[in-house]
Structure formats: structure tokens, C-alpha cells
Amino acid sequence: MDQHAGRCGDDGTDEPCPICRGEELDPDFVAMIEHAAAQPGKAMTFDEAIEWLRTL
């Protein structure tokens, strides 16, 4: 679970997230992230990207 610097369980559970469990991600979610990454513009910092992902 160190992939998220101890952030798994931030939702009030002590369970690892789907990424840490090695589960396949929803193809629509992956497509949305790839689409956002392909857009021109200012790059986000790591912290900004994490906050954006948490709002989805």
C-alpha cells in the first residue's frame, strides 16, 4: 500500500484501494484520465492531480 504514501483508507476504511489490490480499473475511468492527460495546458502538480482525482 505504499504506492499512495499511506493514503489508502482515507475514506474512513482501513481497506486498500482497488489499485493497491491490483484490480482492473474501469475502462471508462482510464479513458477519462487519458483524455485529460492529452489536453494541452498547464501541467498539474502531484498534489493537484490527487485532489482532482478525489473529486471524481
Residue ranges covered by each domain of the chain: 2-54
Counting residues of the chain whose pLDDT is more than 70, the rounded percentage is: 75
Name the one residue in this structure whose C-alpha cell is 504514501.
Answer: 5
Mind listing the pLDDT tens digit for each residue in 10-31?
566 667 777 777 888 889 988 9
pLDDT of residue 10: 59
Residue 27 CB contacts under 8 Å (≥ 6 apart), including other chains = none
